[in-house]
Copies of this chain bind each other. A is one copy, B any other.
Amino acid sequence: MKTKTLQKERDVIQQIYDLISEDLKKVEIEFKKNLHSDIFLIRKMGEYILGSGGKRVRPLLVLLSAKLCKYNGESHIPFAAIVEFIHTATLLHDDVVDEAELRRGKVSANVLWGNGASVLVGDFLYSKSFYLMIEHGDMEILKIMSKTTTQMSEGEILQLLKSNDPETTEGEYLEIVKNKTAILMSAACQTGAILGRVSREKQEAISNFGLNIGMAFQLTDDCLDYTSKNEELGKAVGNDLKEGKITLPLIHLLKNSTPDEKQEILKLIGQDDLNKSKLIYVINMINKYKSVDYAMAKAKRCVDEAKACLEIFEPSSERTALIGLADYVFERRF
């Protein structure tokens, strides 16, 4: 049964890839070109993390939005690559901040090459992204992207400040999710719309679509952390709990559990040596109070809102693909 579900999900995303496979190939070539440097380590680390099985959701959003908005040029290719570069830079830095050891099931770059290299190659990717954007010279896109990366760093800082803080509210959590994840997806979509020179109304609609699927994406991710199997997600279950990341399932649980249960759970937040029985205890509590269901219901509302944003566009294969992508974000199990 589970295998069937996974197969269906893979079919959905595969259909989307197929629709713009030519463009996606060009984006991969663009990655290689832009990683060029006299310093071999940059290419090596860049290729390692870019080749580690990311699903290219952000490039997909740029490409599909551009096509949805009837863009006929070639600039969507470099911009799709740039958005993934920015995302990659944040991954490198996040792993230093979180002292992570795994990323997408592979040993993370900071473990392989050290924190210093991760910080500096991340800086290279950030700077190179701006360099490439400036080379393409679209002031509107530049404004959005620079605002976005600034807000992203604010989101990451807020997350850091709120780590291990059981008083974190749902509102604060949603603010973090918006900034650290959703606004880059929103900016990716808006980039496509700006290239396609559609009306302000359509630009806002597609940008809002991106924001909502970004929210759904992170909400689902945070639920998967309590539900998925290790081999599916490429990281250990309960990782957020161990790292002291207070995500929505946990916020809901803390709010709804009895004082005794709450006291038990509080002891486990940020505990590095969280053993299996303790983890099972938390997961049982989460099941008891339907905390994952609560968070997933929120994700579902974001997906529905995202899909509603697309109604302003006439039917097209790109619109269908974006709807499929929204469903995929919610339904994915890996």
Residues in A lying within 8 Å of B, measured CB to CB:
37-39, 41-42, 93, 96-98, 115-117, 119-121, 123-124, 126-128, 130-131, 134-135, 137, 139, 142-143, 146-147, 149-150, 152-154, 156-158, 160-161
Which B residues are CB-close (under 8 A) to A38? 154
29 interchain pairs (CB within 8 A)?
A39-B161, A41-B157, A41-B161, A42-B157, A93-B120, A96-B116, A96-B119, A97-B115, A97-B119, A115-B115, A117-B157, A120-B156, A120-B160, A123-B126, A123-B149, A123-B152, A124-B150, A124-B153, A126-B126, A126-B127, A127-B153, A130-B146, A131-B146, A131-B150, A134-B139, A134-B142, A134-B143, A134-B146, A135-B143
Which B residues are CB-close (under 8 A) to A97? 115-116, 119-120
Which B residues are CB-close (under 8 A) to A153? 120-121, 123-124, 127
Bound CA span A331–B158, Å: 44
Q: Determine whether the beta carbon of A124 is less than 8 Å from that of B37.
A: no
A330 to chain B, nearest CB (A): 29
Which B residues are CB-close (under 8 A) to A150? 124, 127-128, 131
A134 to chain B, nearest CB (A): 5
Contact A154 B124, CB 8 Å, known A131-B146, A146-B130, A149-B130: yes
Bound CA span A142–B127, Å: 11
Contact A131 B147, CB 8 Å, known A120-B160, A160-B116: yes
Which B residues are CB-close (under 8 A) to A154? 37-39, 42, 124
